[in-house]
Structure 1
Amino acid sequence: MTTDFLSLDELKQKIHALIAGLYPDSNPEQLTRACFDAIGPRLNKDVVAPERLWSERDTLLITYGNSLREAGHKPLDTLQNFLHEKLQGTFSAVHILPFFPHSSDDGFAVIDYTQVDPELGDWDDINALAQDFKLMADLVINHVSSQSLWFRNYQYGKDPGRDYFVEAAPNYDLSNVVRPRTSPLLRKTDTADGVKHVWCTFSHDQVDVDFRNEKVLLEYLRIIGRYLDEGAQWIRLDAVAFLWKELGTSCIHLRQTHDVVKLVRLLTEYKNAHALLISETNVPNRENLTYFGNSNEAHIIYNFSLPPLVIHALLAGDCTYLKSWMMSMPPPPVGCAYLNFTASHDGIGLRPAEGLLSEKELGEMLSTLESFGGKISSRTDAEGNAKPYEANISLFDAFKGTLNGTDKWQVERLIMSQAIMLSVEGIPAFYIHTLFATPNDYDKLETTGHNRSINRRNWSLSDLDARLSKPGGPGERVFNELTRLIKIRAAQPAFHPNATQFTLHIRPEIFAFWRQSMRRTQSIFCIFNLSDQAQELSLSDINLISTENWVDLISGQPVDDLYGKMVLQPYQNLWLTNYLGE
């Protein structure tokens, strides 16, 4: 339920109750008023029906502000121009990864949340993008840069920042803490009050803030208010699962973390009824689903299990694990949606595959990805052992071959992975390098020494133009076909993010499911040959209604014999529908 269906008094009561639970020593009435002051004046209070928050026309592009470069131009200008010239009418939303001054992790160690990195552009450039697209901005909410004003003030005992960070004694038992990294959790830091040890979930340049201090909450509400004022409409809560720290616990998914998300949602919707919260929680599937709450936490959650399962299915030529997962996935609650992706600026998360892929299947997949030039990053488990955390590889190179080795079907597998993503219940999100069939960037990997750099290439516009215009080249083939599929999808009501989805059972080589529009005017049978061999399909297996005319949206070919057989070529995609528009 959005705040537009609540009276202001009801909204204040909900916020008051959350604050009383989070900060029992505070004055809830006073802190509630402070929260409203921090988020700032309302921008939009129009009532938005849940089914209108998004539609089949919504597709998200994920990009760094400097993924594209052109001499003499600001990167954000270059991005804006490229979107207009090459992707006009293709994407409705753009996620610009952290565009703030930063000290490491390609933006995720934020020095100043209120400024745009001058190497990228300025707020006017962000505003311009927000005029043309639904803009997603990152709220890096768990940690700040060690070079930030807050952390420098912490070291000198000054405000703001003096009490903004989590301290722990180095001899305290922290073995229960869940970590996504292998670096030591605590950083030894000299301060005006002597040596302290501060909490660093990710790296020692990314120091965790202490949300147990209500002043930290108010700081981040002010930041959200600023982003919304600058035109952002979607707010991505980065690494939010680790937000609240309680010694003696796992410090992940704590009740207080979920309550902070509820609080942020209420205030964000109050500020702008069209604004959406997206949770970024790269964790096992069941844990990830908890961030919907009772339709009162994130509007959208990343479908983190999709990337490893799609990659495994295409490398193995077998949909068994992908199909089992899909059958187990609940429809999102009313007013909520999944964000589907297969590649991102990070690696391919492996924790979301826990309990879904066996150790044997996972090991075979990782060995194959390493043979294709990928790297494997690790985390430390509760016993202190290093465990695979993510695979670092460009999605294009992840499909160089199968578990049996390299072959000639790399482009076809990449396109199929995106066709599956476009078809599955939810909002599709494309990492910009997937559109270009960008290969592994070994030069950047060598320069930075960070595994994730392998999939964070910075294209010069001239080199990219050459790649996309080379007839028959992978860049041209992938870019043209993916943009074509996106535009086809946008006209299909059965691809609404919340339209019905039903898994079909054919055989391991053929992944298939059915989508039906919310008004039941359209059905689409999504069928994918995951193998490098032609596969015969009996149309009786999918039970097409004989009183209607059916056509494949992708090829444009009609289905002439509803009781006959079709031969699917290696890695062929089908969108069989009974609806060609009004």
Structure 2
Amino acid sequence: MYEQISHSLLNDILNRIKPDIYQKDLRHFYTRLGANFYAIHGLFAKLYGNREDFDLQAQRLVETMARQYIKREDELKQLDIERERDYNWFLNQKWVGMALYANGFADDLKDMQSHLSYFQELGVNMVHIMPIMECPEGQSDGGYAVSNFREIDNRVGSLEDLRSLSEEMRSRDMLLAMDVVLNHTSDEHEWAEKARTGDSTYLEYYYTFESRNIPDMFEQSMLEVFPETAPGNFTWDEKIQRWVMTVFNNYQWDLNYNNPAVFIEMLDVILYWANQGADILRLDAVAFLWKKLGSTCQNEHEAHLILQLLKDCCQVTAPGVLFIAEAIVAPSEVTKYFGEDAVIAKECEIAYNATFMALLWDAVATKNANLLNQGIKSLPNKLERATWLNYVRCHDDIGLGFDDKDIIQSGYEPQSHRRFLIDYLTGRFENSFARGLPFAENIKTGDSRISGSLASLVGLQYAIETGDVDAQENSVKLILLLHSMILSFGGIPLLYYGDEIGTLNDDTYLDDPDKMDDNRWVHRPNIDWGKAEKRHTPCTVEYDIFNGLKKMITIRKEINVFSDFNNRELVDVGNPNLFVFNRFNPQKFHDRVLVVTNFNDQPQKLDLEDVASWGTYKQGQLFDLHTRQKPEIFNNTLVIPSFSFYWLREM
């Protein structure tokens, strides 16, 4: 009966569809729409079925998908068809990403195009460009306060520049990833400006209230994202004399997804950028999409319905485009953003593995893999046709979102252990060489997140400033060690621009009044291309890091067990300083790689008899793919030097 209702509605919609749509060749569109409309109708009805204008909104939804399909270039439509046939294409080990700001990595989008050979030299073939949509001149949260969803900010270029870049990248078999900010707009967006005039249509695009009664009820259960710089979740707007929900910053107005017009607008935005050549769209702040009284307004069931609906609609118009869920949430919650289907990612094909990132920094600080081993055991399995985005650093801060149960299981007290990590990574702890900065520090609770570049956090800044040669050597080893983890763990490794040449903290943000109160800008550098040139000069830090990464990336692409088909097995070896796991080919038992990592500053040993699935090996029976040499083994005991790793394969 339900299916009959959905198909009846679809027939009515198609009968009413406007001439500028039905006169076009929509063969593939109609095939995909018919296959997906039952799910689309069901989700749309769950979210908006109680509205009197439901049928009208459903009509608008289908017409939006159709119009964007018509605008999609033939080359992109053909790419959609190819990716539908090879639906696991993004799970291949050949993909290696880098995240960057276009006007930090280069001058602008046009200048970026001239640097594509740099990515290819390193082995990077997926480039995530941080927000480039039009935003205000002053504070814009690093581009995440968007004032126009369909224009490129003129400080980074033009639509023509982006289209040229995407075409050139496609010719080089490189993927373009872009941001779409789903949760909010700038208060300078056209919708917000119209709302300020009292336009009822656009007032309903946001959460606005005449008195503090409802906001105060929300505040009882909502958390604060930036408690020090942007306390509370509502801002009084003088022009409309109303309280506006502003979860992130007072200049970012939260969109009201209770309104289907908002959903359709944002779907149109997603499809618009897919049509500009984006292969992957990073959906920002997806955990915050649905607001409900009495809840934290994070991870609500309806937020997942919205993502499922966006995915189903995109499957109709641009099925070759992937979604990244930017959901930095608890480990038990993050896998839900893949969708809770047994195999297929019903929401986002890719999710940030923030837990893995934070656990790696715990291992750096403690110089052991105790919590890392425990935390990975507790990380839920991903879906087969979904993948992690694994990273060491990104544009954002480092949060310590471990599960307290894992901290306790590892022998620590949660609050004091987090305090230790904050002190260590900010250099307050005795003998710590880290030079991070506390971010969003809560004086009352002692909670904090951490800013800082990778090189400064692992001690390279300290080493250079003090001339400590041993500290410099160890910091370079740590940089390579951390990247070996994201390259071998399973998923798409995402490097962060500047890390490949050891870029240090950049304090120049303190001279900019629009940035000085946000110390995350300390790790959002302008690349020094003179420094980058040193990657060709042996015995320099830049040479050692760049070429060390290049070597690992090359090896990764050659080893098919590094593809991501849930083909990883954690190995408990009884040594808390080691992190050991097995990557294997499910169809070929002997096609496997044993990853052994030592986070300690002293050499460690591993009795190969403890790795039961690998049997007993003598000297010469194992080969390290990274060094291209046989590892040191004595009496069946493997020796792992300090801050180092092996990618071992049987000979």
TM-score (norm 2): 0.81
Equivalent residue number for residue 498 of structure 1: 565
Is contact 1:348–1:391 with CA below 8 Å preserved after alignment?
yes
Is the 2:453–2:503 Cα contact (8 Å) retained in structure 1? Answer: yes
Does the CA-based 8 Å contact 1:111-1:148 persist in structure 2? yes
Q: Is residue 428 from structure 1 mapped to residue 428 from structure 2 by the alignment?
A: no
* Superimposed CA distance per residue, residues 173-195 of structure 1 (whole angstroms, 9 cap, x where no aligned partner): 2220133221231111123xx41
1:34 aligns with 2:60: yes
Matched to 1:234, the amino acid is I
User: Aligned ranges for residues 540-579 of structure 1 at < 5 Å?
Assistant: 540-543=609-612, 544=614, 550-558=622-630, 564-578=636-650
The Cα shift of 1:485 comes to 0.6
1:394 to partner: Cα distance: 1.0
**Unpaired stretches in structure 1, ≥5 consecutive residues:** none
Question: Within 2, Cα distance between the matches of 1:231 and 1:38?
Answer: 18
2:11 matched residue in structure 1 = none
Work out whether 1:109 is the aligned partner of 2:145.
yes
Aligned counterpart in structure 2 of residue 170 of structure 1, from 197, 207, 212: 212
Q: Tell me the CA shift for residue 6 of structure 1.
A: 8.4
Paired position in structure 2 for 1:365: 421
Q: Whole-Å Cα distance in 1 between the matches of residues 159 and 287 of structure 2?
A: 29
Q: How far does the alpha carbon of each residue in 1:18-37 deviate from its partner, in whole angstroms, 9 at most, with x for none?
A: 11111121444432332232
Partner of residue 7, structure 2: none
Given that 1:62 and 1:97 are in contact with CA atoms closer than 8 Å, whether structure 2 keeps it comes out as yes
| Residue from 171, 179, 183 that aligns with 1:138 | 179
Q: Deviations over 1:135-186 (max 9, x none)?
A: 1111100011111111111111248734211124324322201332212311
CA contact (8 A) 2:568 2:583 kept: yes
* Match among 391, 394, 403 for residue 341 of structure 1: 391
1:206 to 244, 248, 252: 252
Q: Distance in 2 between matches of 1:85 and 1:377?
A: 32
- Superposition map of 1:349-498 within 5 A: 349-352=399-402, 355-357=405-407, 358-371=414-427, 372-378=434-440, 388-400=447-459, 407-408=471-472, 409-445=474-510, 447=512, 448-449=515-516, 450-461=518-529, 463-498=530-565
1:58-102, CA deviations, whole angstroms, 9 ceiling, x for partnerless residues? Answer: 111111111224xxxx52233222231453471221110001121
The CA deviation at 1:497 is: 1.8
Structure 2 residue matching 1:114: 3-state secondary structure? strand
- In the other structure, the counterpart of 1:181 is 226
Aligned partner of 1:17 in structure 2 is 42
Letter in 1 for 2:58: T
**Equivalent residue, structure 1, for 2:109:** 76
> Which residue of 285, 310, 323 maps to 2:373?
323
Query: Counterpart of 2:63 in structure 1: which amino acid?
Result: D
CA distance in structure 2 between the aligned counterparts of 1:320 and 1:7, rounded to whole angstroms: 48
Matched positions, count: 565
Alignment of 1:192-271 (within 5 A): 194-271=240-317
Which whole-Å CA distance do the structure 1 matches of 2:520 and 2:322 have between them?
Answer: 28
Report SS of the residue matched to 2:495. strand
Task: Name the amino acid aligned to 2:583.
Answer: R
Shift of 1:311: 1.1
Between 127-136 and 80-89, report the one with greater CA deviation.
80-89
Partner residue of 2:125 out of 68, 92, 95 = 92
Quote the Cα distance in structure 2 between the aligned partners of 1:432 and 1:546: 42
| Displacement of 1:219 | 0.9
The alpha-carbon distance between structure 1 residues 88 and 410, as it changes in their structure 2 partners (threshold 3 A), is closer
2:3: which partner in 1?
none
Q: Distance in 2 between matches of 1:368 and 1:455?
A: 18
Letter in 2 for 1:459: I
Report the alpha carbon displacement of residue 280 of structure 1 after superposing the two structures with TM. 0.6
CA offset at residue 467 of structure 1? Answer: 4.7
String of CA shifts for 1:425-473, please: whole Å, max 9, x gaps.
2211111122121111122245322111111011243x33355345423
Contact 1:499 1:517 in 2 (8 A): no
Moved more, 468-477 or 284-293: 468-477
Amino acid at match of 1:497: D
534-543 or 13-22: which moved more?
A: 534-543
Query: Is residue 131–residue 144 contact of structure 2 (8 Å, CA) maintained in 1?
Result: yes
Shifted more, 481-490 versus 371-380: the winner is 371-380
Native 8 Å contact 1:512 1:526 kept in 2? yes
Q: 1:499 to 1:130 in 2, by over 3 A?
A: farther
Moved more, 333-342 or 47-56: 47-56
Deviates more, 1:533-542 or 1:268-277: 533-542
If each structure's helix is expressed as a fraction of its own residues, which one has the higher value?
Answer: 2
Would you say the 8 A contact 2:64–2:264 is kept in 1? yes
- The answer to whether the 8 A contact 1:276-1:299 is kept is yes
Q: Distance in 2 between matches of 1:202 and 1:514?
A: 41
Q: Is the 8 A contact 2:608 2:616 kept in 1?
A: no
Whether the 8 Å CA contact 1:242–1:252 is kept in 2: the answer is yes
Aligned partner of 1:61 among 98, 109, 112: 98
Query: Hey, what does 2:23 align to over in structure 1?
Result: none
Choose which of 592, 612, 635 in structure 2 pairs with 1:523: 592
Residue 283 of structure 2: SS of its match in structure 1? Answer: strand
Q: Which has the larger displacement, 201-210 or 322-331?
A: 322-331
For 1:319, the aligned partner's letter is A
- Aligned residue for 2:504, secondary structure, equals coil
Offset at residue 56 of structure 1 (A) = 0.5
Deviation at 1:211, TM superposition (A): 1.0
Greater Cα shift, 562-571 or 162-171: 562-571
Taking a change above 3 Å as real, the CA distance of residues 352 and 346 of structure 1, as seen in their structure-2 partners, is farther
CA distance in 1, matches of 2:346, 2:203: 33
In structure 2, stretches of 5+ residues that fail to align are 1-27, 408-413, 428-433, 461-465
Give RMSD over aligned pairs: 2.7
DSSP 3-state at the match of 2:324:
strand
Kept in 2: contact 1:281–1:288 (CA 8 A) = yes
- Tell me, yes or no, if the aligned pair for 1:377 and 1:388 is still in contact at 8 Å: no
1:484-543 Cα distance to aligned partner (Å, 9 max, x none): 111110111110022411111220111111010243262010011111112233333335
Is the alpha carbon distance of 1:368 and 1:158 closer, same or farther for their aligned partners in structure 2, counting shifts above 3 Å? same
Report if the CA contact (8 A) 1:378-1:387 is conserved.
Answer: no
Find the aligned partners of 1:159 and 1:76 in 2 and give their Cα distance. 38
SS at match of 1:231: coil
| Residues 186, 198 of structure 1: 8 Å contact kept | yes
Q: In the alignment, residue 331 of structure 1 is paired with which amino acid?
A: N
Residues 194-245 of structure 1, C-alpha deviation per residue, up to 9 Å, x if partnerless? 4100000100111111111111111111111110110111111100111111
Identify the residue that residue 534 of structure 1 maps to in structure 2.
603
Report the CA distance shift for 1:281/1:549 in structure 2 as closer, same or farther (over 3 A). Answer: same
> Does the 8 Å CA contact 2:271/2:318 hold for their aligned counterparts?
no
TM-score by length of 1: 0.91
| Contact residue 122 and residue 550 of structure 2 kept, 8 A | no
- Greater shift, 231-240 or 161-170, is seen at 161-170
- Paired amino acid for 2:449: E
Whole-Å Cα distance in 1 between the matches of residues 279 and 201 of structure 2? Answer: 28
Of 470-479 and 179-188, more deviation after overlay is shown by 470-479
C-alpha separation between the residues in 2 aligned to 1:165 and 1:537? 58
CA contact (8 A) 1:539 1:562 kept: no
Q: Could you say if the C-alpha distance between residues 204 and 471 of structure 1 is closer, same or farther in structure 2, counting changes exceeding 3 Å?
A: same
Q: CA deviation at 1:412?
A: 0.8
Aligned to 2:576: 508
